[in-house]
Structure 1
Amino acid sequence: MGCVNVKKQAKLRMKVTPSSTFITDNSRISNYDFPPPTPSDYEPLSFLGAGGFAEVTACKHIRTKKIRAQKKIPKSKLKQYHLHTSKRPKEAYILESLNHPNILSFYEYFEDKENYYLITEVCKGNSLYSQLVKSGKFSEKKLKETMFQILKAVEYLHCKKIVHRDIKPENVLLTSSNGLNMKLSDFGSADEIVGNEKLFGGFGSVFYLAPEILVGEYDEKIDIWSCGVMMWVLFTGKQPYIEKDQKAIKERIVMKPLQPCQIELEGLSCDGFDFIKKMLEVDAEIRVSAKEALKHKWFEDCGKKYDN
């Protein structure tokens, strides 16, 4: 789900009767220290954004006084593939297993008869997309710092056999207005790879789809392709395809997918150009992995600053 500018609204009133919770917030030492969450645990503050079929609001956790984000997902909108075998949304199941400085922190989850509710941290700097709109395009220095942090998150996910499947500027949040620290968010399309099995299904935003998604099975390398498209978009400030409707864009991705061009990427260093070529390799078997990408020469001066 993309992030939009915060709009002040009157306080919201909600009627929620939670039935279960899964807590990963370190401030809540164990699941037995406090009772399950209830509506009175959170004071709604303002609307943050909406996309797909979910709505996000900022709220205050009354006991800790901390500001958090509440993502409300209507049960009626979810398909069976959105749910884990535990009957929880896969997004909640996956988020509670993650702990990385470049991934949105997850606190707890509960549900009522009509909705699922996911509680996460709030990123005050809005989204990478909002920053792109404001600046027009990124300098190579800013681009490098951005891609390094995103790929650190992607490397972590892929080591855990998790594929995000919807990496794009709208789903990268900034922890502050200076935009220095990034958090990968919105795991509504994410899934796990079990054993050596492949994934199926056309998940993600059309501009960032890897060619293999549209022709059959695929693996975690689709996230690398999406990162390559995002890098292209951030540096050029343009959409990757000129086609207007989704069908035409998908046909273009299969027949003639985005490839780096020195004219369009004028000003990008030789190392940067080599790097994006490796991410936008059409053959997924040859395409660079996240771990390999982070070792690229282009990132030589990033390791000490952001490595963890």
Structure 2
Amino acid sequence: MGEIQSKHAGSSDILETSDLKTLKDKKTSREISVLLYRVLFRSEEVRGGSVKVVKETFIRTHSNHPELFPILDRTKFARDMVSVFKTSSVLSPEKLDTFFTSIHAAFQNEIRYLLGKSTQFTFDIMFQVIESILQEMSHPEDQRTVDVKDRELILKHFRAYNDLSKYFNKMGTSKAVIDKKDDIITEISINHKEITIVSIENMFRNILAQILLSRKYNCGTLIDKWSTEYGFGPEQAQSMRNYIQQTATLTDFRTQYANALRAIGTENDMDLMFLRTLSNYYSSWVTQVSEQIPA
């Protein structure tokens, strides 16, 4: 398995004019406006009232006049935003300029993640990350291939994922969670500011997808479907049943996978290979379902 790659900023992260067309193909004007509003609301200045932003008015203005909010031009973005909000803010123009400059940087970070130019953490690499972390933690610090900054960012994503999962467990029904989706994503994004809002939205859909799949399938079914998909026989399927509880729910697969990794260790390369392909199949399955869930 390949190592986790460092995602520190590089030249490939820079947004270009061609990215704007890709963005429009991916998201509607309103969805982009809602994302910018969420970036604004994440700030203490907006939540505290230092900068007053009326949600629907702002979203409508942004959707109808995107030229006032240029994604690529930070200086113009900040200047235009200061012009729009200077009468509804207690901050000085200088502080407003600094504030909106930081908002633009955060908004660009969201766009980069949305366009796949900054994939710090996605569901399809979750199980690779789990394996790498378990391997890394068994090595002395000076022998680890993932630096402290990257490792901490990975762990922050896991914490956000776990906090999001708690909402699903606490609220009981999928409908209740879906009805409160915006509020939940907003709260998680405020509590985990280092993580993009787009990433949190993706986590929400991935968790929901697993819950929906769990209504019909369990880990035993997963092994059967994986075995059929890869053309494996009963012997290979049984090798996975030795580590993965068949009756475990799909929402428990992450824990089952981590326990299986510990049990297999480095002594059985074949079982480790089977486990990796099983996790790949599962993540692909969940991702396909999550992509069908409305944004």
TM-score in terms of structure 1 length: 0.28
Q: Of the two structures, which has the highest relative contact order with CA contacts closer than 8 Å and spacing of 6 or more? A: 2
Larger Rg: 2
Q: Which has the higher strand share?
A: 1
Q: Which has the higher helix share?
A: 2
